[in-house]
Chains A and B, each alone.
Chain A
Amino acid sequence: MAIVELKNVAKNYAQGLVAKGKGDKSSNAVDNFNLVTRDGEFVVLVGPSGCGKSTTMRMIAGLERNTEGAILIDGKDVSQVPPKERDIAMVFQSYALYPHMTVAENMAFSLKLKKRPAAEIKTHVDEAAQTLGIQHLLDRKPRELSGGQRQRVALGRAIVRDPQVFLMDEPLSNLDAKLRVDMRAEIVKLHKRLNVTTFYVTHDQVEAMTMGERIVVMKDGKIQQIDTPINLYEFPANRFVAGFIGNPSMNFLRAKHADGVVSGDGYQLSLDGGHRPAVISRKMVDVWVGIRPEHLRLSDATATNRIQGTVDVVETLGAVTVVQLSVGEHSVTAQLPGHQKVELGDTLTLSCDSDKLHLFDDESELAIGRESTAQPSAAAEV
């Protein structure tokens, strides 16, 4: 268990070839990464591929070196420390099990290297195997195991070591959908039980939302927002986070603002106290309006907040019906109750409560008004 702290951590692959100093900042794979974990926290790094989440994790592991800043584990700067001395365990996307060793040997490998007594190693391995329900597999080789079983062995190899920090690099992405959901819950349970500080990398926002105590959303090597799942959903810091978190994705409408009302071709929405002062005081004209599909509902054409469009696509999922409409130049997705009868080509009027609206600056794309009360750097308890 440990507190992990990343201070201004950056990774520039060109370094060493380009003169140091005024290197092109945009070539940083990770830039200005700051984060302090709680002891035993489960932190998820999420973002599209190439956003730097894996690089960040590999820097924490020591598999790659941070070119700037410092990585501290329990206050000790480990930036120059090789992986094996960092007391971390890692679960790889490919599992990276040693193919020539049995499950038991795989799990015992790190302890054997530390020259622990055989009896102690056996106790640890058996304990971990019990926890993961793989006692019956201990004598098998990795190639005789299913994907889910390999996944468990990889987890087992990590927990046997009783490390200060767990690192998991997309550990579930090679599993089929059903197994993935099961393992998700199992990893969360395992974390609750072991209470070891864990970093978890994924590109799947659903995984991030369901597993993370805190989520770091990254894009192009930069942190977009660090917050609890619910705060990310309710108070996205910018348009990217708003669009990335939530499924189906948030709708964005390019709107003109006048007197607390934002409108455009086919829609008109009035702002409430959360947005109105900020927008009016900044004399804003062009804004982005964000509306989550699940916050849209059918209404009549006279509603104050209304969006009108024609139906292009109807997806009947049973529990819900997802509808795509053309609203002026925009395409708007709405998630309606499952029993709703909607036909292609229908003209629908949708409405949305003003307190569910999100506004983003036209240029910076940062959220306007209604910000999360929690400071990103402070660990927010849910």
Chain B
Amino acid sequence: MKAISRTAPSAEETGARSFARTTRLLMAPAVIFLLIWMLVPLAMTIYYSFQQYNLIMPMYNGFAGLNNFAILLGDPTFWKSLANTLIIVAASLVVTVCLGLALALLFNRTFVGRGVARTLAVAPFFVMPVVTGLIWKNMLFHPVFGLFAWMARQLGLEPVDWLAHYPMLSVVIMITWEWTPFALLVLLTGLQSLPEDQVEAAKLDGASAWQEFRHIVIPHLGQVLYVVVMLESIFFLTSFAEIYTTTGGGPGTATTNLPYYIFQTVFQQNDIGIASAAAIGAVILANIFAIMLIRFIAGNLNAGAAR
């Protein structure tokens, strides 16, 4: 006889009403659409992952059991791509969040032309990732015609072929350039919503700048930071355009991440079964991150209902 505590009493209440049918009709199109475009394909991917299925060699198609997974786990490229994925996510996260936070604090100060400067600084986030890849590859990283090479020569140094010698670093730099503005934008908005009286109270209590940051600003930004980390992880896990237009996963497999590995397996090796098995791996990896975000949203929902 334990009463399950519900989020909002009125939620429970109105749900019992006669227009429950109407609200179902309102939700149905979106739900059905997502079922067809997301859940059904996901189920099919799981099915394919247990099939021997190669578009070029249809004569061998059939049930494969765990064979695809066995092949996958024995493939060093898969492991390499998994590691690359995690490196991209971890490195980009650390840099974008730290840099974004520092820049947010900088741009939260009053200075001449702040609005314009901020607008310039957030611009890369809106740039098409394909363009990002080409700008960096051709105009900045290029060992002969790139600006970095020119600057190196000006300083009397040997120009570096970034994409060839530091491929992973180059990819992370590009992703960081795109996403630090996002972190900056969100964190700055968060900072600006910090109640003035809290800061003043802390100042009156004799807090130093560092104490103010540590005990007032960081706790206030907690929720916002969380959102930044989660959203960024989701996008970093699926980085594709930056790699596709620049390194093509190379040199070798140096920058092949999981999406790129699957892309190659499907479109170059035409192996649906193995690619599906790898896709399941990508889904599992994304889920580990997603679960954390969903817990956050669910918590937010409950907090909202209690208002």
| A-contacting 9-mer, from B11-19, B55-63, B122-130, B244-252 | B11-19
Q: Count A-side interface residues using an 8 Å CB cutoff.
A: 14
Closest A residue to B15 using CB positions? A16
- Asked whether A82 is an interface residue with its Cβ less than 8 Å from the other chain, the reply is yes
Cβ contacts under 8 Å, B14 to chain A? 64
- Asked whether A284 is an interface residue with its Cβ less than 8 Å from the other chain, the reply is no
Known A-B contacts A64-B13, A65-B13; the reply to A82 vs B3 at CB < 8 A is no
**Roughly how many angstroms separate A27 CA and B12 CA in the complex, as a whole number?**
15
B302 to chain A, nearest CB (A): 16
**Roughly how many angstroms separate A19 CA and B10 CA in the complex, as a whole number?**
19
Q: Which of chain B's residues 140-193 have a Cβ closer than 8 Å to chain A?
A: none
Known A-B contacts A18-B1, A19-B1, A24-B1; the reply to A13 vs B13 at CB < 8 A is yes
- Asked whether A17 is an interface residue with its Cβ less than 8 Å from the other chain, the reply is yes
- Asked whether A258 is an interface residue with its Cβ less than 8 Å from the other chain, the reply is no
Q: Are B3 and A18 in contact (CB under 8 A)?
A: yes
B13 to chain A, nearest CB (A): 5
Quick one: CB contact mask for A21-35 with B, threshold 8 Å, 1 for yes?
000100101000000
Closest A residue to B19 using CB positions? A82
A21 to chain B, nearest CB (A): 10
Chain B interface mostly: loop
The A/B interface has a contact count, at CB < 8 Å, of: 29
Q: Are A27 and B10 in contact (CB under 8 A)?
A: no
Quick one: CB contact mask for A67-83 with B, threshold 8 Å, 1 for yes?
00000000000001010
B255 to chain A, nearest CB (A): 52
A57 to chain B, nearest CB (A): 14
**Roughly how many angstroms separate A14 CA and B19 CA in the complex, as a whole number?**
20
**Roughly how many angstroms separate A222 CA and B6 CA in the complex, as a whole number?**
23
Cβ contacts under 8 Å, B13 to chain A? 13, 64-65
**Roughly how many angstroms separate A299 CA and B108 CA in the complex, as a whole number?**
70
Closest A residue to B1 using CB positions? A18
Identify which of B10, B16, B18 contacts A16 (C-beta below 8 A).
Answer: B16
Q: Which of chain B's residues 4-34 have a Cβ closer than 8 Å to chain A?
A: 4, 6, 9-10, 12-14, 16-19
Q: Are A17 and B4 in contact (CB under 8 A)?
A: yes
Identify which of A13, A24, A82 contacts B9 (C-beta below 8 A).
Answer: A13
B216 to chain A, nearest CB (A): 31
Cβ contacts under 8 Å, A63 to chain B? 10
Q: Are A64 and B10 in contact (CB under 8 A)?
A: yes
Closest A residue to B8 using CB positions? A13
Q: Are B12 and A13 in contact (CB under 8 A)?
A: yes
**Roughly how many angstroms separate A80 CA and B12 CA in the complex, as a whole number?**
16
Closest A residue to B4 using CB positions? A17
Cβ contacts under 8 Å, A64 to chain B? 10, 13-14
Cβ contacts under 8 Å, B16 to chain A? 16, 65
In the A-B complex, the 4 residue pairs with the smallest Cβ-Cβ separation, listed nearest first, are A14-B3, A13-B9, A64-B13, A17-B4
| Extra A-B contacts (6), CB below 8 Å, given A13-B13, A17-B3, A82-B17 | A16-B16, A17-B4, A18-B3, A19-B1, A24-B1, A82-B18
Residues of A within 8 A of B (CB): 13-14, 16-19, 24, 27, 29, 63-65, 80, 82
Q: List 29 A-B contacts (CB under 8 A).
A: A13-B6, A13-B9, A13-B12, A13-B13, A14-B3, A16-B12, A16-B16, A17-B3, A17-B4, A17-B6, A17-B12, A18-B1, A18-B3, A19-B1, A24-B1, A24-B3, A27-B3, A29-B9, A63-B10, A64-B10, A64-B13, A64-B14, A65-B13, A65-B16, A65-B17, A80-B18, A82-B17, A82-B18, A82-B19
